[in-house]
Amino acid sequence: MGAVTDATGTRRRTVAQPLVSRILRVTGPLVEMEYTGGIAMYDLVSIGPAGLPGEVVAITGDVVTVQAYEYTGGLAPGQTALPRGRPLSVRLGPGLLGGIFDGLLRPLSRAGDWLLPGAQQAVAEAPSWFFSPSVAQGEQVAEGQALGEVRDAGPVPVKVLVPPGCRGTVEGIADAGDHPRDVPVAVVGGTEVTVSALWPVRRPRPVRERVDSHEALSTGQRVIDLLFPVARGSTVAVPGGFGTGKTVLLQQIAKWCDADVIVYVGCGERGNEMADVITELSELQDPRTGGRLADRTVTIANTSNMPMMAREASIYTGVTVAEYFRDMGLDVVVIADSTSRWAEALREFASRTGALPAEEGYPAGLASAIAAFYERAAAVTTLGGDRGSVTVIGAVSPPGGDMTEPVTAHTERFVRCLWSLDRDLAYARHYPAVSWAGSFSRDVPVLAAGHRAAGDPAWSGRRDRVGAVLAEADRLADLVDLIGIAALPPRERISVLAGRLVREGVLQQSALSERDAYCGPEKTAALADAFLAVADRCRELVDSGISASSVEEVDFGPLLRAREDTGPHDAAGVAARRNAMLAGLGEMRP
Amino acid sequence: MSPADEIEYTKVRGLRGPLAIVEGVSGIGWDEYVRITLASGERRHGVVLDADRDLAVVQVLEGTAGMDPEGIRAAFSGSPLRVPVGTDWLGRVCNGRGEPLDGGPPVLGSHTAEVGGAPINPVRREPPSEPVLTGVGAVDVLTTLVRGQKLPVFSVAGLPHLELAAQIAAQATAAGEAFSVVFAGMGLTHADASFVRDALEERSAAGELVLLLNTADDPVIERILTPRIALTVAENLAFNEGRHVLVVMTDMTTYAEALREVSAARGEIPARRAYPGYLYSDLASLYERCGRIKGRPGSVTVLPVLTMPAGDITHPVPDLTGYITEGQIVLSPETHARGAYPPLDALSSLSRLMRKGAGPGRTRDDHLHVAAQLLAALAHARQVRDLADLVGQAALSPTDRRYLDFEEAFLRDFADQRSDEPRELDTSLERGWQALLTLPRSQLSMLPAQLLDAHGAKEFDAPDVREAP
């Protein structure tokens, strides 16, 4: 093992190269082989003539149990297996942005039409990168500090950092120019630093400290930004049955949220959908940089028919890539669609190893595995002293829409925000089908404080009022079903009307509409304010003796269409429509 | 592949359930295909479930009944099951294992392919964008099937889903391009199997059909191979021979039950309703073999048919299928009871890829508008009918009463069709228009004005005497 691995902080072995081992048993992804020394838990193993990747999951006496990441058909006892002497690691460096990878971060763009077991290992990486140094020889540097930058495909510069656990004098630094991937560009305190390095996926990358985040991640989706906002570095779960628009919502966030880097992990989902995401991202423009959205995105595609076990790793691969960009002082969002498929991979393997099952056959460690995964999200001060964050948004696919099943139930406990997708809303074509009654955001208090500090004290009052309007309308809806709208007192009839207006005019958002797909924070606020003001005016009208039914018959169309008729940041346009609406209502006489 | 290369082992240590444990083997790989010969000369087949040192645990596809450990010869083929592929399959009728049922010679091909297949690289996938027209009006107009899509039919026992599947298999076309159908029947009764053979006879004779029939009395485990063989043959016809291939698989619930039976025999830990925990991945490994590939002609479109036990859409098989597939065609007992065929529940049915495969340049310019308006009007008609049940028809507004007429026209003139009647898309769309024109023009807000003019939509200003209370 060269300096590259050492630089990542991987334990150094006193044992020489591990010896070639023999396969004893194969049953599905579970492979047993002889213990030949120099093998540690979670070490990587190349299995059989095709060199299938696998990971050591148990060592019992002289038998090592390996979980293979690919289809093991034809693999036979007696064939060789080669322990690699390091844990499952991915190569972090330039070339990730804009790229599409499998669950083990092997580039798919250079693989063939079909993914054959073991075939991708031979794929070579890009030869060299343009490096420009930012420190000089003789300078003192500490871990996490930038040594220079590499020019990557997109607008996000990729920094080369002093590896964790390494500090001292810059003994050598390369000149600006092209450098091959494996040739060191710097020597710090005796350690060689290359532009890319391996990092074990199951080990969180170190930070100086975790910090509280007061800043919201703007997603461009009104129901989220207004009612269930998420702070940078926070965690979100998105449970929803099939057909509730889960994937569309996540794709909208991948496209429009204001993070620097998006890591999109397609974990056990549809192949055609993945193809769609890839095509769309490369066609869409990033509204903030003018570049392609694809250039700020790392896509990890592990579709439902790709090897199950790589699906288990893909979640960790995704979050490790996110931490790599976070360490450069960037805000990163990891979108995992869907964590339920990941949990199923855990279950599948637990069952093969004969582990005692807990709920519904899932291993007893499911809850702690979910908790540990979400804990890798954080707003931090990096080793180099910058601010960075990793926000994790994980979809959950409850079987049969059953929210009490183990993955959904455990996930709810560990996340800070829940955007629960409702089948009835989706059936009524109310998209995004985020249920206001079944969702929560525990980030609201800190974000309210953040907004106050940033000079927007109205933010939390607006959220509370919209929430109250919806809750009141929901309460009355049950009553209306029983006794009919006409039997309600006028003020309550206006509450029902206000609920409908807020739902249709503010919460609904069309992912297909060019103007409505993304909504800036100022327009979200303007729309919410407009409908609250209209609701107030309507209430005044009925108080002054105008009949509720004549208020209900007013054509609210111009204001309801404001979300599609005005541009994504056109708060003034919304305000103008609000004023016109209010003026129209003002002319009503009993 | 040739039996001469295979080593035969004769030492069988034990037989348990469907499993035979063969001793003293070497170099036997997991998932290898095994040919077993009994002392009587009877041939059976198996798959290696566990290769443990010098033991091989073999799952016998036909079951172990009547097997005596003495005199068994197990020949290991050296690789997972492979089948010959090529155009020789076209026009053939075979059993669930790919052996001829039509009296012809065994199917041979220029080469063989592994039935398990390999995942298509998501980067190399071409997003689906052209329709497969089924000749079934309601399906073509409301839930257009797109080349490379996977669209299941969710049905309930007693509904004519097999008729619908056979009709689609018999009629489907891809705008004049080379088209083939692979029909995989799993656990069919003999009556159903012969119905399918009859219904598809013409297509078979035209050399456009591969028929694989596993009947209810065939070995259960063979059912697990049937769809895989079908898809392997289809992939070759599509991506090597350049045809558009529609794979109809029925009944997936029966398939999943076979999977559950096998899982139980292996002693695996069960998940929901005792189905194995990997049911999702297993179904995905079938459904995800559909698609198109950049730079290759042809496409594989998958139409699985499944019955929802007790009509429960949250049952694991329809539920997991729904998570994988791109929409669903739902059949409803209620529509069936009203005498319409196909008994489509239009409001619950959805083709997620329809926007990509229908409309201007693909089908007809007005297609998406008409479909959206039909569904919106139908949804309103349902509400009106519920209301009418409560308050009586007389209390409805004249417009609402028109919606009841619309629903009637929708079922009678648009949705209903004979099971042997191929209907052109143009005809279907015009019938859709006819149904829509029972509504006043002001109710057709989803249709552009010039289309309404062209079809002569009217406002019905004059009070309708017939309907006056």
CATH code, domain carrying A166? 2.40.50.100
Instruction: Of B468, B416, B414, B417, give the one whose Cα is nearest residue B437.
Output: B414
Q: What is the pLDDT of residue A111?
A: 86
Q: What residues contact A520, with CB distance under 8 A and at least 6 apart?
A: A218, A220, A568, A569, A571
Query: Do B257 and B316 meet the contact criterion of CB atoms below 8 Å apart?
Result: no
Nearest-CB residue to A73 (from B54, B116, B316): B116
Beta strand A100-101 pairing with B82-85:
unpaired
Same domain, A345 and A443: yes
Task: Evaluate whether residue A154 is within a structural domain.
Answer: yes
Name which residue leads in pLDDT, B111 or A12: B111
Name which residue leads in pLDDT, A428 or B310: B310
Predicted confidence band of residue A487 (pLDDT cuts 50, 70, 90): confident
Same domain, A80 and A164: no
Contact list in B for residue A74 (CB cut-off 8 A) is 29-32, 78-80
A458 has a pLDDT exceeding 80: yes
Q: What is the pLDDT of residue A122?
A: 45
Q: Under an 8 A CB cutoff, do A305 and B289 touch?
A: yes
Beta strand A387-396 pairing with A331-337:
parallel
Q: Which helix (H) or strand (E) holds A539?
A: helix A521-543
Tokens at B353, concatenated: 């890829």
Q: What residues contact B110, with CB distance under 8 A and at least 6 apart?
A: B84, B86
Q: What residues contact B195, with CB distance under 8 A and at least 6 apart?
A: B162, B166
Same domain, A425 and A396: yes
Same domain, A356 and A435: yes
ipTM of this complex: 0.85
A350 three-state secondary structure: helix
Q: What is the pLDDT of residue A126?
A: 62
Contact list in B for residue A242 (CB cut-off 8 A) is 319, 322-323
Task: Evaluate whether residue A116 is within a structural domain.
Answer: no
Contact list in A for residue B148 (CB cut-off 8 A) is 272
pLDDT digits (tens, 9 = 90+) for A188-198: 999 999 988 89
Q: What is the pLDDT of residue A567?
A: 93
Task: Print the SS3 string covering chain B.
Answer: CCHHHCEEECCEEEEECCEEEECCCCCCCCCCEEEEECCCCCEEEEEEEEEECCEEEEEECCCCCCCCCCCCEEEECCCCCEEEECHHHCCCEEECCCCECCCCCCCCCCEEEECCCCCECHHHECCCCCEEECCCHHHHHHCCEECCCECCEEECCCCCHHHHHHHHHHHCECCCCCEEEEEEEEEECHHHHHHHHHHCHHHHHCCCEEEEEEECCCCCCHHHHHHHHHHHHHHHHHHHCCCEEEEEEECHHHHHHHHHHHHHHCCCCECHHHCECCHHHHHHHHHCCCECECCCCCEEEEEEEEECHHHCCCCHHHHHHHHHCCEEEEECHHHHHCCCCCCECCCCCEECCHHHHCCCCCCCCCHHHHHHHHHHHHHHHHHHHHHHHHHCHHHCCHHHHHHHHHHHHHHHHHHCCCCCCCCCHHHHHHHHHHHHCCCCHHHCCCCCHHHHHHCCCCCCCCCCHHHCC
What chain B residue is nearest to A342 in terms of C-alpha separation? B281
Q: What is the pLDDT of residue B3?
A: 47
Task: Evaluate whether residue A336 is within a structural domain.
Answer: yes
Predicted confidence band of residue A578 (pLDDT cuts 50, 70, 90): very high
Q: Under an 8 A CB cutoff, do B326 and A270 touch?
A: yes
Predicted confidence band of residue A15 (pLDDT cuts 50, 70, 90): very low
Task: Evaluate whether residue A94 is within a structural domain.
Answer: no
User: Of A453, A474, A495, which closes a domain?
Assistant: A453
Residue A26 distance to chain B (closest CA, Å): 5
Instruction: Give the span between the Cα atoms of B32 and A332, in whole angstroms.
Output: 45
Nearest-CB residue to A399 (from B78, B270, B319): B319
Strand partners, A421: A434
pLDDT digits (tens, 9 = 90+) for A234-245: 999 999 988 888
Residue A171 is which amino acid?
Answer: E
Average pLDDT rounded to a whole number, residues B57-61: 90
Contact list in B for residue A266 (CB cut-off 8 A) is 122
A1 has a pLDDT exceeding 50: no
DSSP A106-145: -BSTTS-SB--TTGGGGPPPP-EEEEEESS-TT-EE-TT-
Nearest-CB residue to A304 (from B128, B148, B284): B284
Contact list in B for residue A402 (CB cut-off 8 A) is 314
Query: Do A198 and A146 meet the contact criterion of CB atoms below 8 Å apart?
Result: no
Dihedral Cα A227, A456, A449, A521, nearest 10 deg: 40
Q: Under an 8 A CB cutoff, do A308 and B271 touch?
A: no
Same domain, A264 and A383: yes
Same domain, A578 and A510: yes
Name which residue leads in pLDDT, A110 or A54: A54
Average pLDDT rounded to a whole number, residues B352-377: 92
Q: What is the pLDDT of residue B399?
A: 87
CATH code, domain carrying A13? 2.40.30.20
Predicted confidence band of residue B4 (pLDDT cuts 50, 70, 90): very low
Number of folded domains that form chain A: 4
Task: Evaluate whether residue A115 is within a structural domain.
Answer: no
A575 has a pLDDT exceeding 80: yes
DSSP A428-463: TT-SS-B-TTT-EETTHHHHHHHHHHTT-THHHHHH
Same domain, A298 and A392: yes
Residue B288 distance to chain A (closest CA, Å): 6
Tokens at B409, concatenated: 């026209």
Q: Where is average pLDDT lowest: A46-60, A111-125, A426-440?
A: A111-125
A7 has a pLDDT exceeding 80: no
User: Of A70, A89, A108, which closes a domain?
Assistant: A89
Tokens at A309, concatenated: 């076990």
Task: Write the CA distances from B122 to A103, A109, A294, B297, integer angstroms.
Answer: 12, 9, 16, 17
What chain B residue is nearest to A269 in terms of C-alpha separation? B324
Query: Do A259 and A331 meet the contact criterion of CB atoms below 8 Å apart?
Result: yes
Q: What is the pLDDT of residue A16?
A: 52
Q: Which helix (H) or strand (E) holds A335?
A: strand A331-337
Work out the mean pLDDT of chain A and round it to a whole number: 89
A10 has a pLDDT exceeding 90: no
Instruction: Of A260, A313, A289, A325, give the one whose Cα is nearest residue A94.
Output: A325
B411 has a pLDDT exceeding 50: yes
Task: Evaluate whether residue A95 is within a structural domain.
Answer: no
CATH code, domain carrying A542? 1.10.1140.10
DSSP A291-323: SBGGGGEEEEEE-TTS-HHHHHHHHHHHHHHHH
Q: Under an 8 A CB cutoff, do A77 and B51 touch?
A: yes
Query: Do A267 and A336 meet the contact criterion of CB atoms below 8 Å apart?
Result: yes
Counting every residue, how long is chain A? 590
Instruction: Of A563, A546, A445, give the one whose Cα is nearest residue A497.
Output: A546
Instruction: Give the span between the Cα atoms of A520 and A522, in whole angstroms.
Output: 6
Average pLDDT rounded to a whole number, residues B286-305: 96
Q: What is the pLDDT of residue A120?
A: 60
Bond from prior residue into A53 cis (ω within 30 degrees of 0): no
Q: Under an 8 A CB cutoff, do A25 and B314 touch?
A: no
Q: What is the pLDDT of residue A555?
A: 87
Residue window 279-298, chain A: list those with CB within 8 Å of chain B.
279
Q: What is the pLDDT of residue B50?
A: 92
Q: Where is average pLDDT lowest: A269-273, A443-447, B164-168?
A: A269-273
Highest mean pLDDT among A116-120, A301-305, B191-195: B191-195
Average pLDDT rounded to a whole number, residues B109-134: 93
Q: Which domains does chain B have, with CATH numbers?
A: 3-80 (2.40.30.20), 83-357 (3.40.50.12240), 367-467 (no CATH)
Which of A31, A71, A305, A352 should we substitute to test contact with B (largest number of B Cβ atoms within 10 Å)?
Answer: A305
A491 has a pLDDT exceeding 90: yes
pLDDT digits (tens, 9 = 90+) for A333-377: 999 998 999 998 888 888 777 788 888 889 999 999 999 999 999
pLDDT digits (tens, 9 = 90+) for A528-555: 999 999 999 999 999 999 999 899 888 8
Of chain B, the percentage scoring pLDDT greater than 90 comes to 76
Average pLDDT rounded to a whole number, residues B383-405: 87
Average pLDDT rounded to a whole number, residues A405-425: 94
Residue with tokens 């009835």: A424
Average pLDDT rounded to a whole number, residues A62-75: 92
Predicted confidence band of residue B227 (pLDDT cuts 50, 70, 90): very high
Same domain, A362 and A290: yes
Of chain A, the percentage scoring pLDDT greater than 70 comes to 96
Query: Do B75 and B3 meet the contact criterion of CB atoms below 8 Å apart?
Result: yes
Same domain, A370 and A230: yes
Find the farthest-apart pair of alpha carbons in chain B and give their distance in angstroms, rounded.
91
Residue window 62-81, chain A: list those with CB within 8 Å of chain B.
71-78
Average pLDDT rounded to a whole number, residues B374-398: 87
pLDDT digits (tens, 9 = 90+) for A276-299: 888 888 888 887 777 888 899 999
Same domain, A485 and A511: yes
Same domain, A349 and A284: yes
pLDDT digits (tens, 9 = 90+) for B89-110: 999 999 998 999 999 999 998 8
Work out the mean pLDDT of chain B and round it to a whole number: 91
Beta strand B131-132 pairing with A80-87:
unpaired
- Torsional class of A563: left (φ above 0), alpha (ψ -120 to 50), beta (otherwise): alpha
Q: What is the pLDDT of residue A489?
A: 93
Strand partners, A334: A263, A392
Residue-range definition of the domain harbouring residue A510:
458-586
What chain B residue is nearest to A350 in terms of C-alpha separation? B269
Q: What is the pTM of this model?
A: 0.90
User: Of A71, A89, A107, which closes a domain?
Assistant: A89
Decide if A113 touches B, using CB distance below 8 A.
yes
Average pLDDT rounded to a whole number, residues A5-30: 67
Contact list in A for residue B240 (CB cut-off 8 A) is none
Decide if A49 touches B, using CB distance below 8 A.
no
pLDDT digits (tens, 9 = 90+) for A148-160: 999 887 778 899 9
Same domain, A350 and A280: yes
Average pLDDT rounded to a whole number, residues B28-43: 93
CATH code, domain carrying A267? 3.40.50.300
A180 has a pLDDT exceeding 90: no
Give the other-Cβ count within 10 Å of B379's Cβ: 15
Task: Evaluate whether residue A346 is within a structural domain.
Answer: yes
A222 has a pLDDT exceeding 90: yes
| CB-count burial class (<10 Å; 0-12, 13-18, 19+) for B383 | exposed
Q: Where is average pLDDT lowest: A22-26, B219-223, B238-242?
A: B219-223
Q: What is the pLDDT of residue B86?
A: 94
Tokens at A407, concatenated: 């993955």
Q: Under an 8 A CB cutoff, do B32 and A74 touch?
A: yes
Task: Evaluate whether residue A105 is within a structural domain.
Answer: no
Q: What is the pLDDT of residue B391?
A: 80
